[in-house]
């Protein structure tokens, strides 16, 4: 199975992806992780990525698609979880074309729906608890940063919800439910 997890920052996509990797032997394709790995790989693609990132520039969609192509041509295990990609409509089109070229399909797009105010409260509260316990918290887990990240998500990524709904691929889960309840909702979608 190949799936996309969609949802705003802090909705729990990473947590659910980790559970799917463990329980279904899926491969999580996190663009951030792939770019960091490519940068240090020493491959031709890795050298391109390193040069762009070192210059403080954004990596092009073509490069990200190239990295995903490499992963799709490798071991498949239980399928792929696309995490952090696509973020825009052109990226969604490019991913669709790439999957078709590789003889792969997209089995589900799972939107983790949340109430923004509750989400911000939950993340800020979690960060404060971590700090009180002397544990590290993300530097950008504060109300101001979260609102900026949410605005960026809604501007660029939320059009994907309509895009995948129109294709009949979109399924939704309650991203504010407990971790186990969200996992159960996802399991019901995946069958």
Q: Are strands 108-113 and 170-174 parallel, antiparallel or unpaired?
A: parallel
Clarify whether 149 is annotated catalytic. yes
Residue 6 backbone phi and psi in degrees, to 5: -115, 145
- Catalytic site residue from 48, 87, 131, 132: 87
Clarify whether 13 is annotated catalytic. yes
Clarify whether 126 is annotated catalytic. yes
Kindly calculate the radius of gyration of the chain based on its CA atoms and give it in whole angstroms. 17
Render the burial of 143-162: b for 16+ CB within 10 Å, e for the rest. eeebeebbeebeeebeebbe
The residue among 13, 6, 8, 10 whose CA lies nearest residue 150 is 8
User: Using CA atoms, how far apart are residues 79 and 2, in angstroms rounded to an integer?
Assistant: 5
Clarify whether 24 is annotated catalytic. no
- Catalytic site residue from 48, 122, 149, 156: 149
- Catalytic site residue from 13, 19, 39, 171: 13
- Catalytic site residue from 39, 138, 156, 171: 138
Catalytic center residues: 13, 87, 126, 138, 149
């Amino acid at each position: 199975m190949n799936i996309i997890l969609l949802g705003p920052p802090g909705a729990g996509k990473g947590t659910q992806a980790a559970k799917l990797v463990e329980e279904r032997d899926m491969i999580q394709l996190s663009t951030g992780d792939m770019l960091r790995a490519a940068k240090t790989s020493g491959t031709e693609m890795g050298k391109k990525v390193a040069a762009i990132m070192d210059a403080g520039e954004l990596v092009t969609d073509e490069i990200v698609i190239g990295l995903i192509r490499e992963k799709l041509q490798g071991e498949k295990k239980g399928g792929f979880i696309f995490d952090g990609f696509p973020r825009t409509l052109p990226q969604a089109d490019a991913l669709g074309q790439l999957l078709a070229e590789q003889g792969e399909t997209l089995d589900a797009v799972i939107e983790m729906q949340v109430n923004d105010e509750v989400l911000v409260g939950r993340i800020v509260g979690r960060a404060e608890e971590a700090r009180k316990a002397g544990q590290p918290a993300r530097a950008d887990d504060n109300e101001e940063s979260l609102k900026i990240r949410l605005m960026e998500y809604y501007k660029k990524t939320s059009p994907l919800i309509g895009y995948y709904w129109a294709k009949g691929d979109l399924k939704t889960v309650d991203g504010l439910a407990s971790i186990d309840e969200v996992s159960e909702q996802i399991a019901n979608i995946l069958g």
